[in-house]
């Protein structure tokens, strides 16, 4: 599978620390560099038949449909697509007007991930989103009108401008819109963001973990009652609508990341990442050089990643895979820790898979870190 990072946005959200630029001055050069990177890295994936292609960012919908299509065509020059390939485009609601959607419906893009975040103006203003509450709702309806049934929306909970009642209304609105996939995250205060600055100066209250905990479990119960499956800590889907792309990440499969700051993984022991600087990225690719660094993952690194990722999912961690892959010496600490946590009810074993009971999923990352080999 391939991930293409589009490093452009109209404006900077207050909570975001992803790599992007609000200037489009070098957009053409960037797209050309990405096509060069696809050429230079065409032999890196063992499986040359793609089951997913994902445009993330940044804001991929800031591109024209012709530009999106040209990147798809370039990928087709070097890879073949499965007949039912999932091609996802992340999009902001304010970009999804009738003209854009009409053109997009004529492309191979068959899944939209819409950055809704909230249906309430106060939340959107705090987040410095470019869209309004009415655009959030209207974009979903328009996408459905143009035949996009495989839709995902992002929702953020635990904002200081929100509360449980507002969160309930957000979820009721989502159900009324019949969206089949939801990715939902607690508002986090990342370093060097506007949100961190506002909180440090007392302009905005800090998110409260107990409120986020309450809203997370309400979210989980509510969506399950409405026919959704909670298949990863932050992801919920109606049957048949799991994100094929993200599920591949969570099952340790290989992927190729194209564009500045994009990451790649060979499915075994090599992880690489591109420079998070647009000008450096373009310059390198203009010289037909890759703008990436890589690391060889140690046995400990591989073990810790399998634990961290697996325990965030409905599938858990395959204990037989761990035993076959890692030495007994490496597993000693792990076996001691899981015994204690099983006794405490924090971990369970089902069909030889280690899992966190869903009632403890909000603390999944902390539970997983206790099992790490250090």
Q: In terms of domains, do 27 and 159 share one? A: yes
Give the C-alpha separation, 2 to 257, whole Å.
6
Evaluate whether 107 touches 78 at the Cβ level (below 8 Å): no
Indicate whether 271 belongs to any domain: no
pLDDT on residue 251: 87
Q: In terms of domains, do 34 and 120 share one? A: yes
Q: In terms of domains, do 124 and 226 share one? A: yes
> CB-based burial of residue 289 (10 Å sphere; 0-12 exposed, 13-18 middle, 19+ buried)?
exposed
| Phi, psi values for residue 128, rounded to 5° | 60, 45
Q: In terms of domains, do 49 and 115 share one? A: yes
Interior/surface letters 203-237, b for 16+ CB within 10 angstroms, e for the rest: ebeebeeebbebbbeebbebbeeeebbbbbbbbbb
Indicate whether 256 belongs to any domain: no
pTM of the predicted protein model: 0.93
pLDDT on residue 19: 76
Last residue of a domain, one of 232, 250, 268: 250
Closest CA to 153 of 164, 140, 143: 140
Last residue of a domain, one of 193, 228, 250: 250
Evaluate whether 249 touches 255 at the Cβ level (below 8 Å): yes
Give the C-alpha separation, 261 to 281, whole Å.
9
Q: In terms of domains, do 63 and 139 share one? A: yes
- At residue 20's C-alpha, the angle toward residues 242 and 366, to 5°, is 55
Domain count of the fold of the chain: 2
Indicate whether 347 belongs to any domain: yes
Question: Could you report the per-residue pLDDT of 4-52, keeping only the tens digit for each?
Answer: 999 988 877 887 777 777 778 899 999 999 999 999 999 999 888 999 9
Tokens of 160: 């200081």
Residue-range definition of the domain harbouring residue 356: 299-370
Mean pLDDT, the chain, integer: 93
Give the C-alpha separation, 318 to 298, whole Å.
19
* Low-confidence stretches of the chain (pLDDT beneath 70): none
Residue tagged 């963001």 (tokens): 193
Q: In terms of domains, do 33 and 95 share one? A: yes
Give the C-alpha separation, 350 to 8, whole Å.
44
Indicate whether 42 belongs to any domain: yes
Q: In terms of domains, do 64 and 134 share one? A: yes
Indicate whether 359 belongs to any domain: yes
Q: In terms of domains, do 234 and 309 share one? A: no
Interior/surface letters 244-253, b for 16+ CB within 10 angstroms, e for the rest: bbbbbbbebe
Question: Could you report the per-residue pLDDT of 298-344, keeping only the tens digit for each?
Answer: 999 999 999 999 999 999 999 999 988 888 888 888 888 899 999 99
Indicate whether 306 belongs to any domain: yes
Q: In terms of domains, do 176 and 314 share one? A: no
pLDDT on residue 68: 98
Q: In terms of domains, do 242 and 119 share one? A: yes
Indicate whether 313 belongs to any domain: yes
Length of the chain: 374
Indicate whether 16 belongs to any domain: yes
Give the C-alpha separation, 232 to 230, whole Å.
6
pLDDT on residue 13: 83
Closest CA to 322 of 345, 354, 297: 354
Q: In terms of domains, do 74 and 160 share one? A: yes
In the chain the beta strands, taken as DSSP E runs, fall at: 2-6, 49-57, 80-91, 111-117, 151-157, 181-186, 229-232, 235-237, 256-258, 263-265, 270-274, 292-296, 317-318, 348-350, 353-355
Closest CA to 239 of 318, 150, 176, 108: 150
pLDDT on residue 214: 94
Q: What is the CATH number of the domain that holds 184?
A: 3.20.20.70
| Phi, psi values for residue 13, rounded to 5° | -70, 145
> CB-based burial of residue 202 (10 Å sphere; 0-12 exposed, 13-18 middle, 19+ buried)?
exposed
pLDDT on residue 226: 97
Q: In terms of domains, do 116 and 231 share one? A: yes
């Amino acid at each position: 599978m391939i991930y293409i990072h589009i490093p452009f946005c109209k404006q900077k959200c207050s909570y975001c620390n992803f790599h992007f630029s609000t200037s489009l001055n070098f957009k053409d050069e960037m797209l050309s560099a990405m096509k060069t990177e696809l050429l230079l890295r065409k032999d890196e994936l063992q499986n040359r038949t793609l089951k997913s292609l994902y445009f993330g960012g940044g804001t991929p919908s800031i591109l024209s449909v012709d530009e999106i299509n040209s990147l798809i065509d370039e990928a087709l020059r070097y890879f073949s697509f499965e007949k039912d390939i999932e091609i996802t485009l992340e999009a902001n609601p304010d970009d999804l007007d009738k003209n854009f959607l009409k053109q997009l419906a004529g492309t191979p893009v068959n899944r939209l991930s819409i950055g809704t975040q909230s249906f309430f103006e106060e939340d959107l203003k705090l987040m410095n989103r470019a869209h309004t509450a009415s655009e959030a709702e209207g974009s979903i309806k328009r996408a459905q009108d143009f035949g996009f049934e495989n839709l995902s929306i992002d929702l953020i909970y635990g904002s200081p401008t929100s509360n449980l009642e507002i969160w309930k209304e957000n979820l009721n609105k989502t159900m009324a819109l019949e969206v089949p996939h939801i990715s939902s995250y607690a508002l986090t205060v990342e370093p060097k963001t506007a949100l961190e600055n506002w909180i440090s100066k007392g302009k905005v209250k800090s998110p409260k973990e107990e409120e986020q905990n309450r809203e997370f479990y309400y979210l989980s119960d509510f969506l399950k009652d409405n026919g959704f499956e909670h298949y990863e800590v932050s992801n919920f889907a109606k049957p048949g609508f799991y994100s094929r792309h993200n599920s591949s990440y969570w099952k340790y499969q290989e992927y190729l990341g194209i564009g500045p700051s994009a990451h790649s993984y060979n499915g075994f022991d090599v992880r690489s990442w591109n420079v998070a600087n647009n000008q450096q990225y373009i310059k390198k690719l203009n010289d037909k050089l890759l703008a990436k660094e890589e690391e060889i993952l140690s046995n400990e690194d591989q073990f810790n990643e399998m634990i961290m990722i697996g325990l965030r999912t409905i599938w858990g961690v395959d204990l037989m895979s761990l035993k076959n892959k890692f030495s007994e010496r490496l597993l000693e600490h792990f076996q001691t820790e899981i015994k204690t946590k099983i006794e405490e009810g924090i971990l369970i074993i089902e069909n030889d898979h280690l899992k966190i009971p869903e009632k403890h999923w909000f603390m999944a990352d902390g539970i997983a870190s206790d099992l790490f080999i250090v």
